[in-house]
Amino acid sequence: MTKRISFFDTTLRDGEQSPGCSMNHREKLMMARQLEKLGVDVIEAGFAAASPGDFESVKAIADHISESTVAVLARTVKEDIDKAWEAVKGASKPRIHTFIATSPIHMEYKLKMTPQQVADRAEEMVAYAASLCSQVEFSAEDATRSDTDFLAEIFDRVIMAGAKIINIPDTVGYTTPDEFYEFIMDIRKKSKYLDNVQISVHCHNDLGLGVANSLAAIKAGATQIECTVNGIGERAGNAALEEIAMVLSVRGDKYGANSNINTQEITRTSNMLSSITGVNVQPNKAIVGANAFAHESGIHQHGVLSNRETYEIMTPESVGLSKNNLVLGKHSGRHAFKDKVISLGYQIDDDQLNIIFAQFKDLADKKKQIFDRDIEILLTRGIKETRDYYKLERFVVNSGNTITTTASVVLDTPEGIREGISFAQGPVDASFKAIEQCVHKDITLEDFSLQSITEGTDALGYAVVKLRYKDKHFVGRDASIDVVQASISAYINAVNKLMQEEETQEAMAV
């Protein structure tokens, strides 16, 4: 008998905790809408008690998502649960996801609580959450390094208190597939009530076994898998949603399971996340990597041309992969552009459409061919949510292999027009140092990346800049055919986010 596996996507919560993957309010809402279109059963929108910004993002997602369940994370603390419920109560299908650590090392050194105290706290707070929300999930943090007798006891107590979903996470990516299977089966044997509720797993990828462990859990009776798009997440990341979804699509007979995932939305979802975060998957990444359906070997090419099934166990079309066909040009009108935006899965209002359409027309005047990926980049970075504290007026770069590179950058700043002039080994380095002269803050450049969005010498260059200031990170992004301009604009975007954060903190302190 085929069982249905629920996909619990935590891209917006655990995934966003990955270095460089932070998203703003608009980007989270955009991603949530695409996740709903992908068919995920549960969207974990965030940790509402973490910050006012997280609270507002969770609330916005809860208010806009109708098909998927919207979950919010909370510690087993009354204040966290109150904040979580306040944020998610407007959802069509709300869920409170509360957790506490259960491993000896976490209880002793992190919580400084006895097992009895942990079990009592869990039971009390699950009961409180259940008094607010009909759907409560309980997670035993660091479960795979916990005692199965203790887990069986605490699970039984929280189930009786109202938990409908029990999550058994491999928080530190420690277990292996065979071991995890036996671990879950052992808990099921010892627990009186676990088989009466939904069993979930959340596998980290520290040993590269996140997906394998999740599949082993399905064999052991789990019917909810917690995962992220592109496998992003803390440390080495989480089990990759797209990989598990396609295993169930291609080899569902092996696991006696299927899912509600619309696999044809996988590539679009992966690309949207990469565009938003600026973090790309490696070329040989399963399912969504650039080489996933590429065949370079002559023997492979011959086989695929004769019959695709010789080397392809799934089709590119099954994951929504299509060629970058020319989609629009400089003579395309606003209605045609709007239709394209909708077909790409984006929802924007008329004011936003006007802004993006103007950027599209400007790009079309400079670029011979406009591809879907070009439009996706415009959509993901085109609506600015930060004020232009610093605005680029002009820049000039002189560079060559026989001279020292010189950059002059003129910015409109809160103190007026400023010019920075710097010398360096390359145009980007010189430009960044010139900006630093205008900003007058102790900023550290922690990361910089530049990539081509499509093929051709006139392809958009997508720049991502990560700055550190007072132990906080700020990520700026921008795109332009001129890669130096893209880099400068991305740096300024990060500085403007820094300035907005400072202004917000000052306002809160008053």
The H-or-E segment that residue 273 falls in is: helix 266-277
- H helix or E strand, kind and range, residue 34: helix 25-38
149 shares its domain with 36: yes
| pLDDT cut 90: percent of the chain above it | 67
Give the CA diameter of the chain: 77
- Cβ 18 vs Cβ 232: under 8 Å: yes
Residue 184, classified by CB atoms within 10 Å of its CB into exposed (0-12), middle (13-18) or buried (19+), is buried
Co-location of 364 and 473 in the same domain: no
Domain identity same for 126 and 215: yes
In the chain, the N- to C-terminal Cα span, in Å, equals 62
Mean pLDDT value across residues 327-346:
80
Lookup: tokens for 147 = 């005692």
**Is pLDDT of 296 > 50?**
no
466: β partners: 447, 475
* Range of the structural domain that residue 440 is part of: 391-509
Same domain assignment for residues 419 and 377: no
Per-residue pLDDT reduced to its tens digit, 201-247: 999 999 999 999 999 999 999 999 999 999 999 999 999 999 999 99
190 pLDDT above the threshold of 80: yes
Return the pLDDT at 126. Answer: 98
Nearest to 288 by CA among 229, 239, 232: 229
pLDDT at 383 over 70: no
Q: How confident is the model at residue 349 (pLDDT cuts 50, 70, 90)?
A: confident
Of 48-57, 215-224, 320-329, least confident by mean pLDDT is 320-329
pLDDT at residue 178, as a whole number? 98
Q: Is the pLDDT of residue 180 over 70?
A: yes
Q: What is the pLDDT of residue 300?
A: 45
324 pLDDT exceeds 60? no
Question: Contact 42/88 with Cβ under 8 angstroms?
Answer: no
- 374/418 same-domain check: no
Same domain, 107 and 204: yes
pLDDT digits (tens, 9 = 90+) for 155-177: 999 999 999 999 999 999 999 99
Instruction: Answer yes or no: is 357 within a domain.
Output: yes
Residue 313 lies in a domain: no
Say yes or no: 361 and 395 in one domain.
no
The answer to whether position 294 is within a domain reads no
**Residues 130, 138: contact at Cβ < 8 Å?**
no
**From the centroid of its chain, how far is CA 70?**
15
Higher pLDDT, 258 or 369: 258
Q: What is the pLDDT of residue 301?
A: 43
- Reported confidence tier of residue 14, pLDDT bands at 50, 70, 90: very high
> Domain with 51 in it: what CATH number?
3.20.20.70
Q: Three-state SS across 68-121?
A: CEEEEEEECCHHHHHHHHHHHCCCCCEEEEEEEECCHHHHHHHHCCCHHHHHHH
Task: Indicate the number of domains in the chain.
Answer: 3
**Sheet of 416-424: strands edge to edge?**
391-400, 403-413, 416-424
293 domain residue, yes or no: no
Tell whether 397 and 471 lie within a shared domain: yes
CATH number for 478: 3.30.160.270
Q: Which residues contact 267 (CB under 8 A, 6 or more apart)?
A: 288, 319, 320, 321
Name the band, by pLDDT with cuts 50, 70 and 90, for residue 297. Answer: very low
In a domain, 299, yes or no: no
In this predicted model, what pLDDT tens digit does every residue of 102-141 receive, in sequence order? 999 999 999 999 999 999 999 999 999 999 999 999 999 9
pLDDT score of 384 more than 90 = no
240: amino acid identity, one letter: A
